Amino acid sequence: MLSGIPASPGITMGEVFLLDKEEIGIKKRRLEKTEVEKEIQRFENALQRTNEELQVIKERIGKRIDPEQTKIFDAQLLILEDEVIKGEVERRIREEKINAEWIYKKTIEKTVNSISSSRDEYLKERVYDIEAVSERLLSNLLGKRRIALDKIKRKAVLMAHSLSPGDLVNIRKEKISGFATEVGGGTSHVALLAKSLGFPAVVGLKDALRRIDRGDFVIIDGDRGLVILSPTEKTVYQYEKRQKDLLKQKRKLFRLKSLPGETEDGRKIEIQANIELIEDIEEALRYGAEGIGLYRTEYLYLAKSELPSAQEQKKAYQTIVDKMYPNPVILRTFDLGGDKFAGEKTDMVEANPFLGWRAIRVCLDVPELFKVQLRAMLEASVRGNLKIMFPMVSGVEELKEAKSVLDQVKEELESQGIGFDQTIELGIMMEIPSACLMADSLATECDFFSIGTNDLIQYTLAVDRGNERVAHFYQSFHPSVLRLIKQTVEAAHRNGIWVGLCGEMAANPLATVLLVGMGIDELSTSPLSIPQIKRIVRSVNFSQAKEFAQKVLETTDLQHIKRLLEEDYKRRFGAEEIICLY
Protein backbone atom coordinates (compact mmCIF):
# COMPACT_ATOMS: atom_id res chain seq x y z
CA MET A 1 0.00 0.00 0.00
CA LEU A 2 1.26 3.48 -0.92
CA SER A 3 0.30 6.58 1.06
CA GLY A 4 0.12 10.04 -0.52
CA ILE A 5 -2.02 13.19 -0.46
CA PRO A 6 -5.79 13.06 -1.18
CA ALA A 7 -6.24 15.23 -4.29
CA SER A 8 -9.73 14.39 -5.53
CA PRO A 9 -12.33 12.28 -3.70
CA GLY A 10 -13.63 8.95 -4.86
CA ILE A 11 -12.57 5.35 -5.36
CA THR A 12 -11.56 3.59 -8.54
CA MET A 13 -9.74 0.40 -9.44
CA GLY A 14 -8.22 -1.20 -12.51
CA GLU A 15 -5.06 -2.02 -14.43
CA VAL A 16 -2.23 0.52 -14.43
CA PHE A 17 -1.22 2.58 -17.45
CA LEU A 18 2.24 3.99 -16.75
CA LEU A 19 2.96 7.38 -18.26
CA ASP A 20 6.69 7.82 -18.79
CA LYS A 21 7.50 11.42 -19.60
CA GLU A 22 10.82 11.88 -21.32
CA GLU A 23 12.95 14.39 -19.47
CA ILE A 24 13.73 17.39 -21.62
CA GLY A 25 17.48 17.60 -22.08
CA ILE A 26 18.81 21.10 -22.78
CA LYS A 27 22.31 21.89 -23.92
CA LYS A 28 23.98 25.25 -23.60
CA ARG A 29 24.93 26.66 -26.99
CA ARG A 30 26.86 29.82 -27.81
CA LEU A 31 25.42 32.09 -30.50
CA GLU A 32 27.17 34.07 -33.15
CA LYS A 33 26.35 37.77 -33.15
CA THR A 34 24.41 37.30 -36.40
CA GLU A 35 22.22 34.58 -34.77
CA VAL A 36 20.94 36.62 -31.83
CA GLU A 37 17.90 38.26 -33.41
CA LYS A 38 16.89 35.00 -35.12
CA GLU A 39 17.11 33.26 -31.72
CA ILE A 40 14.86 35.88 -30.14
CA GLN A 41 12.38 35.41 -32.98
CA ARG A 42 12.52 31.63 -32.43
CA PHE A 43 11.71 32.21 -28.75
CA GLU A 44 8.77 34.49 -29.64
CA ASN A 45 7.45 31.94 -32.15
CA ALA A 46 7.51 29.27 -29.44
CA LEU A 47 5.66 31.63 -27.08
CA GLN A 48 2.97 32.16 -29.72
CA ARG A 49 2.66 28.44 -30.46
CA THR A 50 2.38 27.63 -26.73
CA ASN A 51 -0.25 30.36 -26.31
CA GLU A 52 -2.32 28.86 -29.13
CA GLU A 53 -2.07 25.38 -27.59
CA LEU A 54 -3.26 26.61 -24.19
CA GLN A 55 -6.16 28.50 -25.79
CA VAL A 56 -7.25 25.30 -27.57
CA ILE A 57 -6.97 23.32 -24.32
CA LYS A 58 -9.03 25.95 -22.48
CA GLU A 59 -11.73 25.78 -25.15
CA ARG A 60 -11.83 21.98 -25.08
CA ILE A 61 -12.02 21.71 -21.29
CA GLY A 62 -14.74 24.39 -21.19
CA LYS A 63 -17.05 21.96 -23.00
CA ARG A 64 -16.62 19.36 -20.24
CA ILE A 65 -16.72 21.40 -17.00
CA ASP A 66 -18.04 24.66 -15.55
CA PRO A 67 -16.50 27.41 -17.72
CA GLU A 68 -15.42 29.18 -14.52
CA GLN A 69 -12.95 26.35 -13.89
CA THR A 70 -11.17 27.05 -17.18
CA LYS A 71 -9.63 30.10 -15.50
CA ILE A 72 -6.95 27.67 -14.34
CA PHE A 73 -5.60 28.06 -17.88
CA ASP A 74 -5.87 31.84 -17.65
CA ALA A 75 -3.31 31.58 -14.85
CA GLN A 76 -1.03 29.54 -17.12
CA LEU A 77 -1.48 32.02 -19.95
CA LEU A 78 -0.50 34.85 -17.59
CA ILE A 79 2.66 32.96 -16.66
CA LEU A 80 3.44 32.48 -20.35
CA GLU A 81 2.74 36.12 -21.21
CA ASP A 82 4.60 37.61 -18.25
CA GLU A 83 6.44 40.59 -19.72
CA VAL A 84 9.10 40.59 -17.00
CA ILE A 85 10.12 36.98 -17.71
CA LYS A 86 9.93 37.52 -21.48
CA GLY A 87 12.01 40.69 -21.23
CA GLU A 88 14.56 38.99 -18.98
CA VAL A 89 14.98 36.09 -21.43
CA GLU A 90 15.38 38.35 -24.45
CA ARG A 91 17.80 40.65 -22.61
CA ARG A 92 19.99 37.72 -21.57
CA ILE A 93 19.97 36.22 -25.07
CA ARG A 94 21.27 39.54 -26.42
CA GLU A 95 23.83 40.12 -23.67
CA GLU A 96 25.08 36.56 -23.08
CA LYS A 97 24.58 35.24 -26.64
CA ILE A 98 23.24 31.88 -25.36
CA ASN A 99 20.43 29.79 -26.90
CA ALA A 100 16.84 30.59 -25.91
CA GLU A 101 15.92 27.28 -24.22
CA TRP A 102 18.96 27.45 -21.92
CA ILE A 103 18.25 31.06 -20.89
CA TYR A 104 14.52 30.41 -20.45
CA LYS A 105 15.15 27.32 -18.31
CA LYS A 106 17.55 29.22 -16.03
CA THR A 107 15.13 32.16 -15.70
CA ILE A 108 12.24 29.86 -14.75
CA GLU A 109 14.41 27.95 -12.27
CA LYS A 110 15.09 31.22 -10.46
CA THR A 111 11.33 31.91 -10.19
CA VAL A 112 10.61 28.34 -9.06
CA ASN A 113 13.29 28.44 -6.36
CA SER A 114 11.88 31.72 -5.05
CA ILE A 115 8.32 30.40 -4.75
CA SER A 116 9.45 27.03 -3.35
CA SER A 117 10.89 28.79 -0.29
CA SER A 118 7.42 30.03 0.72
CA ARG A 119 5.89 28.73 3.94
CA ASP A 120 2.50 28.75 2.24
CA GLU A 121 1.70 25.28 0.85
CA TYR A 122 -0.70 26.75 -1.68
CA LEU A 123 1.97 29.04 -3.07
CA LYS A 124 4.47 26.21 -3.31
CA GLU A 125 1.98 24.17 -5.30
CA ARG A 126 1.80 26.92 -7.93
CA VAL A 127 5.27 25.76 -8.92
CA TYR A 128 3.56 22.93 -10.83
CA ASP A 129 1.77 25.50 -13.02
CA ILE A 130 5.02 27.26 -13.82
CA GLU A 131 6.75 23.95 -14.59
CA ALA A 132 3.83 22.83 -16.79
CA VAL A 133 4.01 26.03 -18.84
CA SER A 134 7.79 25.93 -19.11
CA GLU A 135 7.76 22.26 -20.15
CA ARG A 136 5.26 23.03 -22.91
CA LEU A 137 7.26 26.02 -24.13
CA LEU A 138 10.56 24.13 -24.04
CA SER A 139 8.99 21.24 -25.99
CA ASN A 140 7.95 23.73 -28.65
CA LEU A 141 11.40 25.32 -28.73
CA LEU A 142 13.01 21.91 -29.16
CA GLY A 143 10.39 20.57 -31.58
CA LYS A 144 9.47 17.64 -29.31
CA ARG A 145 6.06 15.97 -29.61
CA ARG A 146 3.95 15.72 -26.47
CA ILE A 147 2.43 12.46 -25.23
CA ALA A 148 -1.12 11.90 -26.50
CA LEU A 149 -3.13 10.51 -23.58
CA ASP A 150 -6.23 10.26 -25.72
CA LYS A 151 -4.56 7.38 -27.58
CA ILE A 152 -4.92 4.98 -24.63
CA LYS A 153 -6.80 1.97 -26.02
CA ARG A 154 -8.48 0.40 -22.96
CA LYS A 155 -9.74 1.63 -19.62
CA ALA A 156 -7.04 1.94 -17.00
CA VAL A 157 -5.79 3.75 -13.91
CA LEU A 158 -3.13 6.31 -14.84
CA MET A 159 0.13 6.45 -12.87
CA ALA A 160 2.73 9.13 -13.61
CA HIS A 161 5.55 11.11 -12.05
CA SER A 162 3.60 14.29 -12.73
CA LEU A 163 0.65 15.59 -14.76
CA SER A 164 -0.25 19.07 -15.91
CA PRO A 165 -3.75 20.55 -16.31
CA GLY A 166 -3.15 20.28 -20.05
CA ASP A 167 -2.55 16.53 -19.70
CA LEU A 168 -5.91 16.08 -17.98
CA VAL A 169 -7.70 17.63 -20.94
CA ASN A 170 -6.63 14.65 -23.04
CA ILE A 171 -7.94 12.10 -20.53
CA ARG A 172 -11.31 10.57 -21.32
CA LYS A 173 -13.33 8.97 -18.52
CA GLU A 174 -14.13 6.01 -20.73
CA LYS A 175 -10.36 5.34 -20.94
CA ILE A 176 -8.97 6.59 -17.59
CA SER A 177 -10.95 6.19 -14.35
CA GLY A 178 -8.52 7.98 -12.02
CA PHE A 179 -4.87 8.79 -11.52
CA ALA A 180 -1.98 8.97 -9.07
CA THR A 181 1.27 10.93 -9.30
CA GLU A 182 4.58 10.98 -7.47
CA VAL A 183 4.54 14.77 -7.04
CA GLY A 184 1.87 17.41 -6.48
CA GLY A 185 -0.27 18.80 -3.69
CA GLY A 186 -3.89 18.78 -2.61
CA THR A 187 -4.57 22.35 -3.77
CA SER A 188 -2.64 22.19 -7.04
CA HIS A 189 -4.49 23.07 -10.23
CA VAL A 190 -4.28 19.42 -11.28
CA ALA A 191 -6.11 18.49 -8.06
CA LEU A 192 -8.73 21.21 -8.58
CA LEU A 193 -9.29 20.14 -12.17
CA ALA A 194 -9.50 16.46 -11.17
CA LYS A 195 -12.32 17.34 -8.76
CA SER A 196 -14.20 19.22 -11.48
CA LEU A 197 -13.77 16.35 -13.94
CA GLY A 198 -14.70 13.73 -11.32
CA PHE A 199 -11.43 11.76 -11.37
CA PRO A 200 -10.44 10.10 -8.06
CA ALA A 201 -6.81 11.11 -7.53
CA VAL A 202 -3.87 10.75 -5.16
CA VAL A 203 -0.70 12.86 -5.43
CA GLY A 204 2.61 13.11 -3.59
CA LEU A 205 3.45 9.37 -3.88
CA LYS A 206 7.21 9.69 -3.71
CA ASP A 207 9.08 7.09 -5.83
CA ALA A 208 5.87 5.09 -6.34
CA LEU A 209 6.66 4.20 -9.94
CA ARG A 210 9.55 2.01 -8.81
CA ARG A 211 7.05 -0.38 -7.21
CA ILE A 212 4.50 -0.49 -10.01
CA ASP A 213 4.50 -2.09 -13.46
CA ARG A 214 2.18 -1.49 -16.38
CA GLY A 215 -0.79 -3.86 -16.12
CA ASP A 216 -0.69 -4.19 -12.30
CA PHE A 217 -4.14 -4.09 -10.64
CA VAL A 218 -4.52 -1.26 -8.10
CA ILE A 219 -7.16 0.60 -6.12
CA ILE A 220 -6.99 4.39 -5.88
CA ASP A 221 -8.60 5.77 -2.72
CA GLY A 222 -8.87 9.52 -3.33
CA ASP A 223 -10.57 10.07 0.03
CA ARG A 224 -7.73 8.70 2.14
CA GLY A 225 -4.84 9.34 -0.23
CA LEU A 226 -3.99 5.66 -0.69
CA VAL A 227 -3.02 3.39 -3.58
CA ILE A 228 -3.49 -0.31 -2.79
CA LEU A 229 -1.23 -2.57 -4.83
CA SER A 230 -2.46 -6.03 -5.90
CA PRO A 231 -5.47 -5.99 -3.53
CA THR A 232 -7.01 -9.25 -2.27
CA GLU A 233 -10.55 -10.27 -3.28
CA LYS A 234 -11.72 -9.27 0.20
CA THR A 235 -10.21 -5.77 -0.16
CA VAL A 236 -11.78 -5.33 -3.60
CA TYR A 237 -15.18 -6.34 -2.19
CA GLN A 238 -14.81 -3.91 0.74
CA TYR A 239 -13.93 -1.03 -1.58
CA GLU A 240 -16.80 -1.80 -3.94
CA LYS A 241 -19.17 -1.66 -0.96
CA ARG A 242 -17.56 1.60 0.19
CA GLN A 243 -18.06 3.12 -3.24
CA LYS A 244 -21.81 2.53 -2.95
CA ASP A 245 -21.95 3.76 0.67
CA LEU A 246 -20.00 6.95 -0.12
CA LEU A 247 -22.30 7.77 -3.01
CA LYS A 248 -25.33 7.54 -0.70
CA GLN A 249 -23.56 9.62 1.96
CA LYS A 250 -22.56 12.37 -0.49
CA ARG A 251 -26.15 12.67 -1.71
CA LYS A 252 -27.35 13.13 1.88
CA LEU A 253 -24.62 15.68 2.68
CA PHE A 254 -25.29 17.74 -0.42
CA ARG A 255 -28.89 18.26 0.74
CA LEU A 256 -27.52 20.19 3.74
CA LYS A 257 -25.94 22.93 1.63
CA SER A 258 -28.76 25.44 2.03
CA LEU A 259 -29.14 24.86 5.79
CA PRO A 260 -27.30 27.03 8.36
CA GLY A 261 -24.44 25.85 10.54
CA GLU A 262 -26.32 25.61 13.81
CA THR A 263 -26.23 23.16 16.73
CA GLU A 264 -29.29 21.25 17.89
CA ASP A 265 -29.80 23.71 20.74
CA GLY A 266 -29.49 26.81 18.56
CA ARG A 267 -25.86 27.96 18.77
CA LYS A 268 -24.81 29.46 15.41
CA ILE A 269 -21.48 28.34 13.96
CA GLU A 270 -20.65 30.02 10.65
CA ILE A 271 -19.34 27.47 8.13
CA GLN A 272 -17.25 29.37 5.60
CA ALA A 273 -14.79 28.59 2.81
CA ASN A 274 -11.05 29.05 2.32
CA ILE A 275 -10.27 30.07 -1.26
CA GLU A 276 -7.20 30.91 -3.30
CA LEU A 277 -8.63 31.73 -6.72
CA ILE A 278 -11.64 33.78 -7.76
CA GLU A 279 -13.09 30.77 -9.56
CA ASP A 280 -13.19 28.91 -6.22
CA ILE A 281 -16.18 31.07 -5.26
CA GLU A 282 -18.54 29.05 -7.46
CA GLU A 283 -17.49 25.86 -5.70
CA ALA A 284 -17.83 27.53 -2.28
CA LEU A 285 -21.41 28.58 -3.06
CA ARG A 286 -22.24 25.19 -4.57
CA TYR A 287 -21.28 23.43 -1.32
CA GLY A 288 -23.14 25.84 0.95
CA ALA A 289 -20.47 28.24 2.25
CA GLU A 290 -21.90 30.97 4.48
CA GLY A 291 -19.05 33.30 3.56
CA ILE A 292 -15.35 33.37 2.74
CA GLY A 293 -13.39 32.88 5.95
CA LEU A 294 -9.99 33.19 4.27
CA TYR A 295 -9.03 34.56 0.88
CA ARG A 296 -5.29 34.16 0.36
CA THR A 297 -4.46 37.29 -1.60
CA GLU A 298 -1.01 35.87 -2.43
CA TYR A 299 -2.53 34.25 -5.52
CA LEU A 300 -2.25 37.66 -7.23
CA TYR A 301 1.52 37.14 -7.33
CA LEU A 302 1.52 33.66 -8.75
CA ALA A 303 1.26 34.48 -12.42
CA LYS A 304 3.28 37.68 -12.29
CA SER A 305 6.89 38.60 -11.66
CA GLU A 306 5.93 42.13 -10.65
CA LEU A 307 3.69 43.56 -7.97
CA PRO A 308 -0.01 43.69 -8.88
CA SER A 309 -1.27 47.24 -9.26
CA ALA A 310 -3.89 48.82 -7.00
CA GLN A 311 -6.47 48.53 -9.79
CA GLU A 312 -5.71 44.86 -10.42
CA GLN A 313 -6.10 44.15 -6.73
CA LYS A 314 -9.28 46.18 -6.36
CA LYS A 315 -10.86 44.41 -9.34
CA ALA A 316 -10.09 41.00 -7.85
CA TYR A 317 -11.37 41.90 -4.38
CA GLN A 318 -14.49 43.58 -5.78
CA THR A 319 -15.35 40.48 -7.81
CA ILE A 320 -15.20 38.26 -4.72
CA VAL A 321 -17.16 40.70 -2.57
CA ASP A 322 -19.88 41.09 -5.22
CA LYS A 323 -20.23 37.35 -5.87
CA MET A 324 -20.52 36.55 -2.15
CA TYR A 325 -22.76 39.49 -1.16
CA PRO A 326 -24.31 39.74 1.42
CA ASN A 327 -22.17 36.98 2.95
CA PRO A 328 -18.90 38.09 4.61
CA VAL A 329 -15.52 37.94 2.88
CA ILE A 330 -12.26 37.99 4.86
CA LEU A 331 -9.24 39.14 2.87
CA ARG A 332 -5.90 38.25 4.39
CA THR A 333 -3.14 40.68 3.48
CA PHE A 334 -0.15 39.27 1.59
CA ASP A 335 1.49 36.36 3.41
CA LEU A 336 4.66 36.05 1.37
CA GLY A 337 8.38 36.06 2.04
CA GLY A 338 10.50 39.14 1.50
CA ASP A 339 12.09 37.54 -1.56
CA LYS A 340 8.79 37.98 -3.44
CA PHE A 341 8.54 41.68 -2.58
CA ALA A 342 12.17 42.45 -3.19
CA GLY A 343 11.97 41.17 -6.77
CA GLU A 344 15.11 41.98 -8.75
CA LYS A 345 16.51 44.22 -6.02
CA THR A 346 18.08 41.36 -4.10
CA ASP A 347 18.80 37.66 -4.22
CA MET A 348 18.15 37.33 -0.52
CA VAL A 349 18.39 33.83 0.92
CA GLU A 350 17.23 33.07 4.45
CA ALA A 351 18.50 30.09 6.44
CA ASN A 352 15.03 29.54 7.87
CA PRO A 353 12.37 31.38 5.81
CA PHE A 354 9.58 30.04 8.04
CA LEU A 355 10.95 32.22 10.83
CA GLY A 356 12.20 35.03 8.62
CA TRP A 357 11.21 38.29 6.98
CA ARG A 358 7.71 37.70 5.74
CA ALA A 359 4.00 38.52 5.89
CA ILE A 360 3.17 41.46 8.18
CA ARG A 361 6.88 41.98 8.89
CA VAL A 362 7.59 42.74 5.24
CA CYS A 363 4.49 44.92 4.91
CA LEU A 364 5.52 47.07 7.85
CA ASP A 365 9.06 47.41 6.51
CA VAL A 366 7.78 48.27 3.02
CA PRO A 367 4.77 50.51 3.83
CA GLU A 368 4.31 51.70 0.23
CA LEU A 369 3.52 48.10 -0.76
CA PHE A 370 1.22 47.64 2.23
CA LYS A 371 -0.65 50.87 1.53
CA VAL A 372 -1.39 49.88 -2.06
CA GLN A 373 -3.04 46.67 -0.92
CA LEU A 374 -4.95 48.28 1.95
CA ARG A 375 -6.23 51.00 -0.37
CA ALA A 376 -7.49 48.39 -2.84
CA MET A 377 -9.23 46.50 -0.03
CA LEU A 378 -10.86 49.61 1.40
CA GLU A 379 -12.07 50.78 -2.02
CA ALA A 380 -13.67 47.33 -2.53
CA SER A 381 -15.39 47.46 0.88
CA VAL A 382 -18.27 49.85 0.11
CA ARG A 383 -20.93 47.09 0.21
CA GLY A 384 -20.10 46.37 3.85
CA ASN A 385 -19.32 42.64 3.70
CA LEU A 386 -15.52 42.84 3.43
CA LYS A 387 -13.21 42.29 6.42
CA ILE A 388 -9.42 42.70 6.57
CA MET A 389 -7.07 40.27 8.32
CA PHE A 390 -3.34 40.58 9.09
CA PRO A 391 -1.21 37.38 9.09
CA MET A 392 1.65 36.34 11.38
CA VAL A 393 1.08 38.99 14.05
CA SER A 394 3.33 38.18 17.02
CA GLY A 395 2.42 40.93 19.48
CA VAL A 396 0.56 44.13 20.32
CA GLU A 397 3.20 46.55 18.99
CA GLU A 398 3.11 44.90 15.57
CA LEU A 399 -0.68 45.11 15.42
CA LYS A 400 -0.73 48.76 16.48
CA GLU A 401 1.83 49.63 13.83
CA ALA A 402 -0.20 47.86 11.13
CA LYS A 403 -3.38 49.63 12.29
CA SER A 404 -1.57 52.95 12.06
CA VAL A 405 -0.80 52.28 8.38
CA LEU A 406 -4.44 51.32 7.80
CA ASP A 407 -5.58 54.57 9.46
CA GLN A 408 -3.26 56.58 7.19
CA VAL A 409 -4.80 54.98 4.11
CA LYS A 410 -8.31 55.70 5.41
CA GLU A 411 -7.40 59.36 5.92
CA GLU A 412 -5.98 59.58 2.38
CA LEU A 413 -9.20 58.13 0.92
CA GLU A 414 -11.36 60.50 2.97
CA SER A 415 -9.32 63.52 1.84
CA GLN A 416 -9.82 62.43 -1.79
CA GLY A 417 -13.55 61.89 -1.33
CA ILE A 418 -13.30 58.15 -2.06
CA GLY A 419 -15.87 56.03 -0.24
CA PHE A 420 -15.21 52.90 1.84
CA ASP A 421 -16.84 51.00 4.70
CA GLN A 422 -16.23 53.23 7.73
CA THR A 423 -17.04 50.34 10.11
CA ILE A 424 -14.93 47.71 8.35
CA GLU A 425 -13.88 44.89 10.70
CA LEU A 426 -10.18 44.18 11.26
CA GLY A 427 -8.89 40.81 12.44
CA ILE A 428 -5.63 38.97 12.88
CA MET A 429 -4.39 35.44 12.31
CA MET A 430 -3.58 33.70 15.60
CA GLU A 431 -0.85 31.39 14.34
CA ILE A 432 2.14 32.22 16.53
CA PRO A 433 2.24 31.03 20.17
CA SER A 434 3.30 34.49 21.37
CA ALA A 435 0.07 35.93 19.95
CA CYS A 436 -2.03 33.29 21.71
CA LEU A 437 -0.27 34.05 24.99
CA MET A 438 -1.04 37.77 24.48
CA ALA A 439 -4.59 37.16 23.24
CA ASP A 440 -6.26 39.30 25.93
CA SER A 441 -4.23 42.36 24.95
CA LEU A 442 -4.55 41.73 21.21
CA ALA A 443 -8.32 41.32 21.51
CA THR A 444 -8.67 44.94 22.63
CA GLU A 445 -7.03 46.11 19.38
CA CYS A 446 -9.08 44.24 16.77
CA ASP A 447 -12.56 42.93 15.91
CA PHE A 448 -11.92 39.20 15.50
CA PHE A 449 -9.36 36.40 15.65
CA SER A 450 -8.87 33.61 13.12
CA ILE A 451 -6.78 30.72 14.40
CA GLY A 452 -4.39 29.36 11.77
CA THR A 453 -3.76 25.88 13.12
CA ASN A 454 -1.29 24.81 10.42
CA ASP A 455 1.40 27.23 11.55
CA LEU A 456 0.31 27.30 15.17
CA ILE A 457 0.97 23.56 15.43
CA GLN A 458 4.27 23.89 13.61
CA TYR A 459 5.55 26.73 15.78
CA THR A 460 4.22 25.32 19.05
CA LEU A 461 5.77 21.89 18.55
CA ALA A 462 8.95 23.15 16.81
CA VAL A 463 8.39 20.85 13.84
CA ASP A 464 8.70 21.35 10.10
CA ARG A 465 6.04 19.06 8.70
CA GLY A 466 7.79 19.18 5.33
CA ASN A 467 10.76 17.41 6.93
CA GLU A 468 10.09 13.68 6.73
CA ARG A 469 12.40 12.93 9.66
CA VAL A 470 10.32 14.95 12.12
CA ALA A 471 6.92 15.16 10.40
CA HIS A 472 5.45 12.59 12.82
CA PHE A 473 5.81 15.17 15.60
CA TYR A 474 3.26 17.38 13.82
CA GLN A 475 0.12 16.51 15.81
CA SER A 476 -3.08 18.53 15.49
CA PHE A 477 -4.46 17.21 18.79
CA HIS A 478 -1.37 17.69 20.92
CA PRO A 479 -2.56 18.86 24.38
CA SER A 480 -0.48 22.05 24.19
CA VAL A 481 -2.06 23.02 20.86
CA LEU A 482 -5.57 22.41 22.16
CA ARG A 483 -4.92 24.49 25.27
CA LEU A 484 -3.60 27.39 23.20
CA ILE A 485 -6.75 27.27 21.06
CA LYS A 486 -8.99 27.23 24.14
CA GLN A 487 -7.03 30.06 25.77
CA THR A 488 -7.37 32.14 22.60
CA VAL A 489 -11.13 31.55 22.36
CA GLU A 490 -11.69 32.50 26.00
CA ALA A 491 -9.62 35.67 25.65
CA ALA A 492 -11.57 36.71 22.57
CA HIS A 493 -14.95 36.20 24.22
CA ARG A 494 -13.85 37.97 27.42
CA ASN A 495 -13.15 41.01 25.30
CA GLY A 496 -16.33 40.84 23.24
CA ILE A 497 -14.90 39.70 19.89
CA TRP A 498 -15.61 36.59 17.84
CA VAL A 499 -13.07 33.92 16.91
CA GLY A 500 -12.85 31.60 13.91
CA LEU A 501 -10.51 28.81 12.86
CA CYS A 502 -9.23 28.46 9.30
CA GLY A 503 -6.47 25.82 9.38
CA GLU A 504 -6.64 22.21 8.25
CA MET A 505 -8.12 21.24 11.61
CA ALA A 506 -11.36 22.93 10.51
CA ALA A 507 -11.76 20.24 7.82
CA ASN A 508 -11.09 17.30 10.13
CA PRO A 509 -14.40 15.64 11.07
CA LEU A 510 -12.90 14.34 14.32
CA ALA A 511 -12.13 17.91 15.45
CA THR A 512 -15.54 19.50 14.84
CA VAL A 513 -17.35 18.60 18.07
CA LEU A 514 -14.25 19.49 20.08
CA LEU A 515 -13.95 22.91 18.41
CA VAL A 516 -17.65 23.64 18.86
CA GLY A 517 -17.33 22.72 22.53
CA MET A 518 -14.33 25.04 22.90
CA GLY A 519 -16.53 27.93 21.77
CA ILE A 520 -15.30 28.54 18.22
CA ASP A 521 -17.75 30.89 16.43
CA GLU A 522 -16.73 30.20 12.83
CA LEU A 523 -15.06 27.37 10.91
CA SER A 524 -13.50 28.04 7.52
CA THR A 525 -12.45 25.10 5.37
CA SER A 526 -12.15 23.87 1.80
CA PRO A 527 -15.49 23.98 -0.06
CA LEU A 528 -15.63 20.20 -0.45
CA SER A 529 -15.46 19.74 3.33
CA ILE A 530 -18.33 22.12 4.12
CA PRO A 531 -21.29 19.65 3.88
CA GLN A 532 -19.57 17.14 6.18
CA ILE A 533 -18.62 19.77 8.78
CA LYS A 534 -22.06 21.35 8.59
CA ARG A 535 -23.67 17.98 9.17
CA ILE A 536 -21.60 17.39 12.33
CA VAL A 537 -22.34 20.88 13.69
CA ARG A 538 -26.08 20.33 13.15
CA SER A 539 -25.91 17.00 15.02
CA VAL A 540 -24.28 18.49 18.14
CA ASN A 541 -25.83 19.75 21.36
CA PHE A 542 -23.67 22.70 22.42
CA SER A 543 -23.98 22.00 26.14
CA GLN A 544 -22.88 18.39 25.63
CA ALA A 545 -20.07 19.51 23.30
CA LYS A 546 -18.73 21.81 26.03
CA GLU A 547 -18.65 18.90 28.48
CA PHE A 548 -16.86 16.74 25.92
CA ALA A 549 -14.31 19.48 25.17
CA GLN A 550 -13.59 19.90 28.87
CA LYS A 551 -12.95 16.15 29.19
CA VAL A 552 -10.52 16.27 26.26
CA LEU A 553 -8.73 19.36 27.57
CA GLU A 554 -8.15 17.67 30.94
CA THR A 555 -6.33 14.84 29.15
CA THR A 556 -2.55 15.12 28.79
CA ASP A 557 -1.95 11.95 26.76
CA LEU A 558 -2.08 12.45 22.97
CA GLN A 559 -3.14 8.90 22.16
CA HIS A 560 -5.93 9.05 24.74
CA ILE A 561 -7.18 12.29 23.15
CA LYS A 562 -7.26 10.64 19.73
CA ARG A 563 -9.21 7.68 21.15
CA LEU A 564 -11.76 10.01 22.77
CA LEU A 565 -12.31 11.87 19.48
CA GLU A 566 -12.59 8.70 17.44
CA GLU A 567 -15.01 7.06 19.89
CA ASP A 568 -17.22 10.16 19.93
CA TYR A 569 -17.35 10.24 16.13
CA LYS A 570 -18.11 6.53 15.87
CA ARG A 571 -20.89 6.90 18.42
CA ARG A 572 -22.51 9.65 16.35
CA PHE A 573 -22.05 8.36 12.80
CA GLY A 574 -20.56 4.87 12.84
CA ALA A 575 -17.03 3.70 12.08
CA GLU A 576 -17.66 3.32 8.34
CA GLU A 577 -18.10 7.07 7.85
CA ILE A 578 -14.66 8.12 9.08
CA ILE A 579 -12.93 9.18 5.86
CA CYS A 580 -9.84 10.88 7.24
CA LEU A 581 -8.88 10.38 10.89
CA TYR A 582 -5.97 12.72 11.42
CATH 1.10.274.10 fits 33-142, yes or no: yes
pLDDT at 529 over 90: no
127-178 tens-digit pLDDT: 777 888 888 899 889 887 655 565 566 788 999 888 877 777 667 666 788 9
d(C-alpha 177, C-alpha 194), whole Å: 11
Q: Pick 352 or 57 by higher pLDDT.
A: 57
Does the pLDDT at position 9 exceed 60?
yes
Which of 3-12, 40-49, 191-200, 341-350 is the most confident on average?
Answer: 40-49
Confidence at 10, pLDDT banded by 50, 70, 90: confident
Q: How sure is the predictor about 277, in pLDDT bands with cuts at 50, 70 and 90? A: confident
Known catalytic residue at 478? no
Phi, psi of 312 (to 5 degrees): -60, -40
Q: What is the pLDDT of residue 582?
A: 36
- pTM for the predicted model, two decimal places: 0.70
pLDDT digits (tens, 9 = 90+) for 440-460: 999 999 999 999 998 899 899
**pLDDT tens profile 459-491:** 999 987 656 577 778 899 999 999 999 999 999
C-alpha–C-alpha distance, residues 401 and 328, integer Å: 25
What local confidence, expressed as pLDDT, does residue 255 receive? 83
Least confident of 274-278, 455-459, 518-522: 274-278
Whether 343 shows a pLDDT value over 60: the answer reads no
The residue among 244 and 152 whose pLDDT is bigger is 244
Q: Domains of the chain: which residue ranges?
A: 2-21+147-232, 33-142, 265-503
pLDDT at 56: 81
Q: Are 183 and 128 in contact (CB under 8 A)?
A: yes
Report DSSP letters for 162-198, one per residue: ---HHHHHT--TTTEEEEEESS--TTSHHHHHHHHHT
Question: What distances in angstroms separate CA 503 from CA 470, 508, 527, 533, 563, one per listed residue?
Answer: 20, 10, 13, 14, 22
Q: What is the pLDDT of residue 451?
A: 98
Q: Rounded to an integer, what distance in angstroms lies between the CA atom of residue 531 and that of residue 277?
A: 20
Burial per residue of 248-267, b for 16 or more beta-carbon CB atoms within 10 angstroms, e otherwise = ebeeebeebeeeebbbeeeb
pLDDT above 70 (res 125): no
The size of the chain, in residues, is 582
DSSP one-letter code for 151: G
Please tell me the distance from the alpha carbon of residue 240 to that of residue 479, in angstroms, as a whole number: 38
Alpha carbon distance 259, 261 (integer Å):
7
Domain 265-503 has CATH 3.20.20.60: yes
What is the reported pLDDT for 305?
A: 53
CATH architecture of the region 2-21+147-232: 3-Layer(bba) Sandwich (3.50)
Could you say which of 161, 189, 446, 472 is catalytic?
Answer: 189
Give 344's pLDDT tier (boundaries 50, 70, 90): very low
Cα 299 → chain centroid:
10
Please tell me whether the peptide bond between 527 and the residue prior to it is cis, using omega within 30 degrees of 0: no
- Going by C-alpha positions, the residue among 125, 58, 114 that lies closest to residue 85 is 114
User: 493 catalytic, yes or no?
Assistant: no
pLDDT at site 578:
53
Q: Which of 363, 436, 446, 502 is catalytic?
A: 502
The CA distance from 137 to 212, in Å, is 30
